[in-house]
Amino acid sequence: MTAWVAGAALATALLVAAGRPRVRRPPAPTGATAPVAPPLVQVERALRRVVERAAPGRRLARRDAQLPDALDRLAAAIRAGQAIGPALVELARTAPDPLGPDLRGVAARLAHGAPVATALAHWAGVPSASADVRLVAAALTLGADAGGEVARAVDRISVTLRERAELRGEVRALATQARASAAVLTLAPLGFAVLVASVEPDAIAFLLTTPIGLLCLVLGLALDVAGAMWMSRITRSTA
C-alpha cells in the first residue's frame, strides 16, 4: 500500500513538472561576442580579392573599367562648382576597389599640399599605370593648368575610354574565334589520320613501314606544326 501511494505521488509530481511552462534562460556571458557570419556579398568580395591577387591583370582590367563611371562623377562635381583637386579628394572617398586605393593615394598627396599636376603625375608614373590611367592623368593635369570647360573635357575622356573598352572587347572576341579556328585546323589532320587508320589500316602501315611513307609523315607533321605556330603568332598579334 505504501509503495502504491509513493508511486502515485511520484507520477503526480512528474505530471505537474511537465505541465509547467519552460523559461528560457539567457546564455551566460562569455566576455566576447561570437563572430557573425559574413554576408554573401562579403564572401564574394573576398573571393574576388583572392582571384585578383593570383592574377594581377584582372585587377588592373577592373580598375580601368571603373574609370569611365568615376570620370562621370568627377564631371558632375566640377559642374557643381568644385575644383579638380577637391573633386578628386571627394571621389577618392567613395570610389570602389580596385580604383579606390589609386585615387586615395592621389588624395593623400593633395592633402599634404602637393599640386594637382604632381599628384596625377605620380599616379601615372607607377608601374601598374595603364594607357587609360595615363590618358586620364594627362587630361586632368591639362584641365587643372589651363582651366576652361573642364567638365566637358572629362566627359569626352569618359566617352573615349568606353569606346576603347568596347573596341578591346571586340578584338578579344575575334581573337578567340581565330584561336578556335586555328585549333580546329591543327587537330583536323590528326583526327583524319585516326579515322583513316580505323578504316584503312594498310594506309597507316604504308606511312609507318616504308621510307616514302615515313617521309610523308614527317613532312605532314612538320607542316602541321609550322601552321600551328604561324596561326598562334597571328592570333597573339590581334589579341
Selection from 222, 221, 217 nearest residue 206 by Cα: 217
What percent of the chain is predicted at pLDDT more than 70? 74
Selection from 120, 116, 122, 119 nearest residue 145 by Cα: 116
Range name among 80-89, 111-120, 146-155 with the lowest pLDDT average = 146-155
What percent of the chain is predicted at pLDDT more than 90? 22
Spatial contact of 52 and 62, defined as CB atoms under 8 Å apart: yes
Q: CB neighbours (10 Å) of residue 73?
A: 16
Map residue 115 onto helix, strand or coil: coil
Spatial contact of 138 and 124, defined as CB atoms under 8 Å apart: yes
Spatial contact of 154 and 140, defined as CB atoms under 8 Å apart: yes
Q: CB neighbours (10 Å) of residue 127?
A: 4
* Residue 150 to residue 134: CA distance in whole angstroms: 17
Q: Which residue has the higher pLDDT, 237 or 92?
A: 92
What type of residue sits at position 125? G
Map residue 26 onto helix, strand or coil: coil
Average pLDDT, the chain: 78
Q: Please determine, for residue 3, whether its predicted confidence score (pLDDT) is greater than 70.
A: no
pLDDT in tens, 86-141: 999 999 998 998 999 999 999 999 999 899 989 999 999 989 888 899 999 998 88
Phi and psi based region of residue 29 (left: phi greater than 0; alpha: psi -120 to 50; beta: remaining): beta
* Residue 207 to residue 217: CA distance in whole angstroms: 6
* Residue 96 to residue 178: CA distance in whole angstroms: 35
Q: Which residue has the higher pLDDT, 34 or 185?
A: 185
Mean pLDDT value across residues 216-234: 85
How far CA 153 is from CA of 70, 78, 79, 163, 211, in Å, comes to 14, 11, 12, 15, 71
What type of residue sits at position 29? P
pLDDT in tens, 157-181: 999 999 988 888 888 888 888 888 8
pLDDT in tens, 41-52: 555 555 555 544
Mean pLDDT value across residues 198-205: 82
Its pTM stands at 0.58
Residue 171: φ, ψ to 5°: -65, -40
What type of residue sits at position 2? T
- Write down the pLDDT at residue 179: 83
Spatial contact of 64 and 165, defined as CB atoms under 8 Å apart: yes
Residue ranges of domains in the chain: 42-148, 170-238
Q: Please determine, for residue 9, whether its predicted confidence score (pLDDT) is greater than 90.
A: no
